[in-house]
Amino acid sequence: MIKYLVTSLAAVAVMAGASNGQTPDGKVDFEKQILPIFKERCFECHQKEYTDKNGKVKKPKGKFRMDGAAVMMKGGSEGSDVVPGDAAKSSVYTSTTLPADDDLAMPPKGDRLTKDQQELIKKWITEGANFGAWKGEE
Ligand code: HEC
């Protein structure tokens, strides 16, 4: 009986995790949960150099690109942007928690990320900053 209960509880937990977009082991799924936040709030200023419709060349701000796993891990001019396992040292997380009037607060314009979004980024880094199958741009 106990064994049966434990097994069915575990099954429920797995199902609940899956519906949250987490991986089956309950970890944050980068592509489903983190990438949409980065795309919407960070890519505008942190992607590969491009020329906008007015012919103006846009370089990644702070020399930091977030549009690919390898370039994100390489980091920008300050470095230590993503330190796997250590969110407190990772500016990708810490910059989002700074008050809006801080010079280094990210994103520097628009609303702050929600508390849930900040916590999700923190959890993703704490769990090892795993990108799964995502490679993005080189
Ligand atoms: C409107 C443009 C803009 C957006 C959007 C933006 N940033 Fe930035 N970001 C900047 C600028 C400008 C700098 C350089 C700041 C400096 O060097 O003083 C920077 C620098 C950084 C750095 C430091 C890079 C380094 O190594 O020097 C990190 C980390 C960062 N941003 C993270 C983010 C994250 C995470 C988001 C999305 C939640 C984001 N940024 C969204 C403009 C932006």
Whether the Cβ atoms of residue 124 and residue 28 lie closer than 8 Å to each other: yes
Q: Specify the DSSP element, H or E, that contains 41.
A: helix 35-41
| Closest alpha carbon to 80 in 72, 120, 124 | 72
How far away, in angstroms, is 91 Cα from ligand 1 center?
9
> Whose CA is closest to atom 17 on ligand 1?
62
Q: What confidence tens digit (pLDDT) does each residue in 40-59 have?
A: 999 999 999 999 899 999 99
24: Cβ below 6 Å to ligand 1? no
Beta-carbon contacts of residue 18 (< 8 Å; ≥ 6 apart): 24
**Does 108 contact ligand 1 (Cβ within 6 A)?**
yes
Contact 80, 89 (CB under 8 A): yes
- Does any ligand 1 atom lie closer than 6 A to the CB of residue 65? no
With CA atoms as reference, report the closest residue to 87 among 121, 38, 46, 48.
121
What percent of the residues of the chain are helix, what percent strand, and what percent coil, each to the nearest 5? 45, 5, 50
Tell me, in angstroms, the distance from the centre of ligand 1 to residue 103's CA.
Answer: 10
Residue type, 43: F
Task: Name which of 136, 137, 132, 134 is nearest 25 in CA terms.
Answer: 132
Over residues 48-107, the pLDDT tens digits come to 999 989 999 999 999 999 999 999 999 999 989 999 999 999 999 999 999 999 999 999
More confident residue, 35 or 17: 35
- pLDDT over 90 at 109, yes or no: yes
Q: Is residue 15 within 8 Å of residue 91, measured between CB atoms?
A: no
